Each structure stands twice: as structure tokens, then as C-alpha cells.
Amino acid sequence: MDDMAHFFAVVASHPQAQFAQQHILNVVQRHLDESQQSDVSTRLLVPKENISNCTLLDADLSTPDFVTHYTESSVACFARLSGLYQGITFDVVQQQWIVFNAPFHPTPLYVCQYLNCLIVSQRLDLIILFITPKASQQALAQWLSGRPDPNMSMFDNIHLMPFAHFGYYSAHQQHTRQHIPTDTAFVTTHPLLLHRFWDIEPEHRVGHCDIEGYAEQWRGILQHRISQDLQIAKHQVASQMSGGMDSTSIAALANQALHAPQHLIALSHTYNNTSSCDESDLIAAMVSHLHLQEHHQIELDQFADLDFTQLYPTQLASPGIVHSPKYAQELDLLANLDVDVLLTGNGGDEMAWGHSLVYADRAASGDLTVIKEVIATAKQHKMPIVKSLLRVLIKPNLPDALVSLLGKAPTQQTQLPPWLSAQALAQLDAIETHNPYSQQLGRQGLHSRYEGVMQTATFNSMRSYESLSRKHGIAVRHPFFDPHLAEFSFAIPQQLHIQQTYPKYLLRKAMDPLLPEAVCWNPHKVIFDQHFANIVRANKAALQQLLSHTGLQDLGLVDNTKVLAAFANVVDEPNGSLNVNLLYTILTQSWYQTHIAA
């Protein structure tokens, strides 16, 4: 199968469902013929005497390799495979179908049941030929809260295959869930019996004599992943390259790994009308330092005249999957340059930044040197010193009951937007989330980091690129989202991530030999909130009407009055920044009105 092809497969749950199985595939094929689409692999799946009927999707390994691994160790092989892979195979010993999805896979894999058949597909638009999607109130509440789970589908009757899981589907036995841990919400409703095959091990530790040892291991893991990603390139390789640590690290390591006739094509985004987003000096320093032969720029403020729904047109799959014209322009440019692999710095924040609660964890353990670091950071960012010490070191270590007695809201509550209704809060409370780290003193930073890694909003950008890149013949890879790097980032002393006045301290040490000093040791992170705020202000009237729609309020999930008040605070302040929770609410309203209410 073509690596860039989409996928639609049907499994009959018992022999009597074979007619339905053929009917489903006929309808899909007819639809594809009428729409003249040829990038979809469609197939009926039937049990065989061996597992040679395995279908691998977006795999960095071949089907024979996978068959060998699976034959030797069955489902235990998933934890040992590396790179990106997802697929379905028949286990001849267990007489069950196995659907599996690699850790951090950017392509959604949908699973649902219809006419006693299991449908597995990367194409939601093909699934809805048979199933009318029913919006999930829990998923909507997550988006309105600014905390969407990338493993939770937007629909109650169409499910996502969560990453780092495999699931059983059997035609010969009744599904029983008594042995399945209910550590996540989708387990109890998913048509597959799900098992997590990879996770962060909380007690795993990595020790080196000095920071150079940690830096060398970090750089080695990232370099190995980039080398894997480059193996699939048959033509040219491009890397996004801003002036920040994440994309510059990927660009530098990729540039080092490539050999003629391939060379790295760097692609940068510029913001000519938003000075707070300007990184042109740092980008120029990278081009010079790496001696890059080819560098292209796309000016993003050029799209400022488009209205919000044109710039961020949401797709049915999720409010965060948008077919933005700026993504399309970037991919068109790369396709014309004969690029078939694009590397990004996505995941750098999640893997390298650490969490501010690490300061509180260190204070709770008796490490008083952290006080000097917090004071230095507060001075650097011109923040009140006493208030910073109280917020960063004291409040996180106080019990919620004592915080309430002091007239303050517990930290967890202050992170939720005020426009959520009681019903939405109840929906959020009902979700059982999996996190191997407790929130006890000394582990709060690890708990929050785990949540940030596994439920990061970065998946919205990754899936947006993924949904557009296939028709351009471009594989988009995000090397920071590597299981080995994730394991390492949790196994080291957490203060290595945030040290002195530098976030991403260990990444900086690892990349110091390869990056110009102006980039590697620049303590300032460019925030793009102002860019988004400018777009929102330019679309004030249309977005005000969008946020006034009563659909989500009628569902009992949101208070429109409070949303509009928060919106007014942004648009009425010329230099105001856009809170991510408000951006998510705008996207959710756009999605709901476009795909559900309509």
C-alpha cells in the first residue's frame, strides 16, 4: 500500500455479517469513484491461517518486519517497535483482530461498529456515509475548558484509537470488560478491548556524573529519532525553523545528518506587522551558522485580511483540526521544491520545558537554592518578587482547604475558565484520567508534566498538517514526540529542565555545540498570543456574533454572557493578548455551528 494512502477497512464480527461487510465497502468504493478520489486503500478483512494479512499504516517498518516481531512476541512487540505505526492484524492464536496505534501518532485512527461490523479508518468523512455522528458533551466540555484530550473523539458513536494502545476485537467470544483498567474515559465505551502497551515508568531514573552526560544522552536520542525520520525521504527534506530552541534544534541535527545530494531546506514564518513575534535576527543567525543552501519564508500577517473562519476553517474531526490557507501555502511551496519529508519542532515545549511546579517540589524537599532562582526569574520578567514567591513556592504546597480559608481559589480551579456551566464542570469531573504520578508533595511537577505531554494542544497543529500533507505527498514528522525521549525527560532530575533563569536548560546544554549562542542562550521565548489577538480584533463583529450563538448554552455547557465579557476584554484592549481558553471556545463554537447545529 502507498505510504501516503488513507485507509478504510471492514471486519465482520461473525460469518452472517459478511454481506454487510461487502455492502459497506461497495458504498465506500462507489463514493470514491464518484468523487474521483484515489488516495484511499479499501479492503475487507477476513481471518487467515497466518498474520500475513497485517495492514500497517504510516509505518517506519515493513510488513514482513512487523510479522516477524509479532510472530516472536505477539502483542508484547508493540512496546519494542520504534517510529510511527498503526494498523490492524489477525491474531491466529487468540482468534482475535488486533488494532494498534503507536505512541504520539499524529494521524487519527477511527473505530466504530455498524451492521455487526467493525470499521477502522483514517477517514472520518467515509465513516459518516453510514453513521450520523452524535456530538459528545464530554468532548465539548473539554474543548470549552481549554483541555481537550487528543485521544477522545468528538462523537459518542465514533471512537478514536488512543495512541500507545492496542485493542482486541473478537468474532467468537463475548466482550468482557472486567479485566480492563478504567484509567481513561474511552475504555468503557470503546468497541475494542483496550490495553495500554507503553507508558512513562514513574520510578525509572537516569543518573550521570555531570550535566554533560545528560546533555549527550539527550542529543543522542533526538539525533537517532531524526535519523529514523530521514530514512523515509526519497527526495528533499525540509525543516521548519523559527528562532526558538525547538525548531532550531531539529534543523541543526537534521542538517548535520543529511548528505549530498540531499540538503536541508529551511522554512521560516515571519510576522511583518507583529513586532512581538519578530525572530528575523535569530533566523538569519541560524541560516548563517548552519551554512544553509536554501531558505524560504512565509509571511503570516498576509492572511490578516481573511475572516476568522476562512483562516481557521474547522474540520468535522475536531475544532482544532483546521485547513488553514497558511498551512496549504506552506505545503504547496514544499511540494514544488520536491520535498517529501517535513520536520517540525513540535513537542519541544512538552519534552524540554519542565513545569513551574518543579520549583515548589524542590522547596518542599528542602532545596532552598530554588528561592534565588525564582527571585532572579521574577526580576528578569519584571514581576513582583514577593507575589512570585508566594504563587510559585508557597501556594502549590498548601492544602486546598487552607487555601480556601485564606479566601483564594485552589490552583486547579483557577485554571478553568469562568464561563463553564455547572453541567460542564460535572462532565469534566466524570472523566477518569490516567496519570501514573500522584499530586503529593515532591511530585506535583511530574504530575502536571505528564498531563501536559499526553494531552497537549500541540496535537491540533500536528493533525492539521497531517490532514493536508498527504495530498501533497509530504510526510510530516515531529522528532521531539519520541517515546524514548519522553521516558528520558521524566527519568532525569527535573531541575535540569528549568535552571537559573533558563527554561529548557538541558536542551540548551545539549545543543550548545550546534547552535549560535544568540539562539541557544536567548532567555526570551516569543509568544504568538499577540498575533492571534490581532486576528480576533480584526474580526470583532463576526466573532461576537459567533460567540452569541445559543447552541452550546442551550446544551447547558457554557454561559455566553461570561464568554462575551472575556471577549470584550481582548478586543477593547489594543495590546491585550488572547487567552488560549478563549481561543478554544471560539474554535468550539465555530466547529459546533459549522458541523453540528447546521
Nearest to 370 by CA among 436, 280, 445: 445
* Positive/negative CA dihedral, 240, 244, 246, 248: positive
pLDDT at 534 exceeding the cut of 60: yes
What integer pLDDT is reported at residue 178 of this predicted model? 41
Q: State yes or no: pLDDT of 578 exceeds 50.
A: yes
Q: Which residue has the cell 520510578?
A: 203
As a whole number, mean pLDDT of residues 18-41 equals 89
For residue 175, the model assigns a pLDDT of 47
- Angle at Cα 544 formed by Cα 423 and Cα 567, nearest 5°? 70
pLDDT of residue 4: 58
Provide the CB-side half-sphere exposure for 192 (13 A, CA).
Answer: 28
Q: Does domain 6-196 have CATH number 3.60.20?
A: yes
If DSSP codes are grouped into helix, strand and coil, which group holds residue 204?
coil
- pLDDT value at residue 116: 87
Domain boundaries, the chain: 6-196, 211-351+456-525, 357-445, 530-596
Q: How far apart are CA 36 and CA 396, in angstroms?
A: 57
- The CA-atom distances, in angstroms, between 111 and each of 17, 123, 194 are 17, 10, 12
Q: Are 56 and 87 in contact (CB under 8 A)?
A: yes
Rg over CA atoms, the chain: 24
User: pLDDT of 368-407, one tens digit each?
Assistant: 777 777 777 777 767 787 776 777 666 665 555 443 444 4
Q: Domain 211-351+456-525 is of which CATH architecture?
A: 3-Layer(aba) Sandwich (3.40)
Estimate the crossing angle of helix 444-454 against helix 483-491, to 10 degrees: 170
Cα 342 to the center of its chain, rounded Å? 17
What is the amino acid identity at position 348?
G
Q: Compute CA distances 208 → 119, 491, 492, 496, 576, whole Å.
A: 48, 11, 9, 12, 45
Query: What is the average pLDDT score of the chain?
Result: 86
pLDDT of amino acid 394: 66
Helix residue ranges, H only, 381-410: 385-389, 400-405
**pLDDT for residue 398:** 55
The winner for highest mean pLDDT among 34-43, 416-425, 434-443, 576-585 is 416-425
Helix axes 357-364 and 369-380, enclosed angle (nearest 10): 160
155-164, 282-291, 499-508, range with the lowest pLDDT = 499-508
Q: What is the largest CA-CA distance in the chain?
A: 72
